[in-house]
Amino acid sequence: MSKPHTLPPVKPTLLLILLAAACLSSCGQKPSQSASTGNEAKPGKKIVVGFSQIGAESAWRTAETESIRSEAEKRGIKLNFSDAQQNQQNQIRALRTFLAQNVDAIILAPVVETGWEPALREIKKANIPVILVDRGIKVSDESLYTTLIASDFVNEGRLAAEWLGKRLNGKGNVVELQGTPGAAPAIDRKKGFEEGLAKFPEIKIVKSQSGDFNRAKGKEVMEAFLKAEGKNINALYAHNDDMALGAIQAIEEAGLKPGTDLIIVSIDGVKGAFDAMVAGKLNCTVECNPLLGPAAFDAIEAVLAGKSVPKKTVVKDEVFDQSIAKDVIASRKY
Ligand code: AHR
């Protein structure tokens, strides 16, 4: 009987050399990254994008995640998704992981405005474009990100104030539920609201506190507002619908009628807000469109094709109040 063929044993040193050679050919830097714009994708290669999402604090956020996930799938782009659970350090870790994975582009929805420079500098060195979605950041060097696609949060605050000022006939006490401290929409929506209220000197903000953009915290803070101010409150301004929906529960539990005893205006325009308007419990929502997937991937594909993109794209938003809620609810996409 002939002996079966066996391969000679590979020496450990040779094995190391073979492994190193294989790694050099398959795990090396993107060779085209440093040429021309430095971001071009290789023809035929599947694009890989890292997406660092803030979390799932609101219906708005879930709609944004879904928009980005489904758009990636539609375009055959591989999405490496990371949920930071509201924590900036988790987002920074995710950015560094995407860098180590040598992704083609990064989508970042930044939880707060500051503290991004060190990580973004490392990413810039590797020529990986960073697309900011929904929230802006404060950096000394704007070239640390490629483009920002977001709503005008200051304007949203202004629109809410103008609507409320008219609804209160220029007079009343307002409580404010702010978003996450340090987040662009919390800072800007407060600023815009105060600017808008300047036209109504007899409207006062009597209490203002963060409800962290989520329903449970919105309810908890509203309970405290009601304890402190009781029937002295004429209106609530919430930086997002989820906090308003939590507050509505607190108002009902306090034996008051939301939407009647207290006028409520919030921001986002999610389905739950339209349901509450139809039920007469919420008076107005200022839209903030979360369906950013198509614009984000248009930008990525343009950059990877060597084209330039605008530094900022402002998403258009509308005001919806109770009077039209019934007519438009069926056409809402999120
Ligand atoms: O950054 C957008 C805001 O963040 C939305 O208004 C809010 O619902 C979300 O959590």
Within this chain, do residues 181 and 254 fall inside the same structural domain, yes or no? yes
Question: How far is 151 from 290, CA to CA, in rounded Å?
Answer: 9
Cα 10 from chain centroid? 53
Model confidence at 279: pLDDT above 60: yes
Within this chain, do residues 306 and 271 fall inside the same structural domain, yes or no? no
Cβ of 156 closer than 6 Å to ligand 1, yes or no, is no
Within this chain, do residues 103 and 215 fall inside the same structural domain, yes or no? no
Within this chain, do residues 269 and 171 fall inside the same structural domain, yes or no? yes
Residue 70 in any domain: the answer is yes
Could you tell me what percent of the chain has a pLDDT over 90? 87
Cβ of 185 closer than 6 Å to ligand 1, yes or no, is yes
Domains in the chain, number: 2
Within this chain, do residues 275 and 132 fall inside the same structural domain, yes or no? no
CATH classification at residue 165? 3.40.50.2300
User: What Rg value do the Cα atoms of the chain yield, rounded?
Assistant: 25
Determine which residue's CA is closest to atom 3 belonging to ligand 1. Answer: 185
The DSSP output letter for 1 is -
Cβ of 57 closer than 6 Å to ligand 1, yes or no, is yes
Residue 294 in any domain: the answer is yes
Give the tokens for residue 200.
């109504």
Q: Which residues pair with 210 in a beta bridge?
A: 178
Residue type present at position 58: S
**Interval 246-255: pLDDT, tens:** 999 999 999 9
Cβ of 61 closer than 6 Å to ligand 1, yes or no, is yes
| Arithmetic mean of pLDDT, 83-112 | 98
Question: How far is 264 from 261, CA to CA, in rounded Å?
Answer: 10
Quote the ligand 1 centre to 214 CA distance (angstroms). Answer: 9
Contact 54, 211 (CB under 8 A): no
Quote the ligand 1 centre to 315 CA distance (angstroms). Answer: 14
In ligand 1, which atom is closest to the CA atom of 184?
1
**Domain membership of residue 268 as a residue range:** 153-289+320-331
Q: Between residues 33 and 177, which one has the greater pLDDT? A: 177
Residue 27 in any domain: the answer is no
Q: Is 8 left (phi over 0), alpha (psi -120 to 50) or beta?
A: beta
Within this chain, do residues 198 and 327 fall inside the same structural domain, yes or no? yes
Q: How confident is the model at residue 44 (pLDDT cuts 50, 70, 90)?
A: confident
Within this chain, do residues 305 and 226 fall inside the same structural domain, yes or no? no
Question: How far is 83 from 94, CA to CA, in rounded Å?
Answer: 9
Within this chain, do residues 205 and 142 fall inside the same structural domain, yes or no? no
